[in-house]
Amino acid sequence: MLDVLALAGALGCGLMAGFFLAFSICVMKSLARLPPAQGIAAMQAINGVVINPLFLGTFFGTAVLCIVLTIGSFARASDAAAWLTLAGSALYLVGTVGVTMRFNVPRNNALAAAAPHSPEGARVWADYIASWTAWNHLRTAAATAATVLLILAQRA
């Protein structure tokens, strides 16, 4: 059963890695080219739309799978696959969910409060583009590495 859950976890991690990658290489670069007021308004709209059952189900559903896989890994501690599964699960939980909650969500909240046409909004936007995107790169790398480790666990 843990093998099936690890496969599902790998799929969820891969989906999230792709989602974050698209933001890092396309969406944020495009928004950064807009005047600050337009970039702020666009990202505020995106942040409102992204809170939906499909995204949240994939993001947090994968986290739940990784928690179950972590617990299951301890039960099979002598198995090499268990250590790969544990590492992949931990990477997703810390590097994706943890980073999101600690770094990306507070920046989203600050941007939500920014007035797009104000000088303060422009300052928030300049910081947001740089810092949010840097943390998003980390989420992308963590979710990608988690995917690889969970796939490798299937082969071990």
Do you know the residue count of the chain?
156
CA angle 51, 67, 73 (to 5 degrees): 155
For residue 31, what are the CA distances in angstroms to 20, 39, 100, 133, 139? 15, 5, 20, 11, 19
Structure confidence by residue, pLDDT tens digits, 45-80: 999 999 999 999 999 999 999 999 999 998 887 888
Structure confidence by residue, pLDDT tens digits, 98-108: 999 999 999 99
Location of structure tokens 């995107």: 133
* Cβ count near 32 (within 10 Å): 15
Quick check: pTM over 0.75? yes
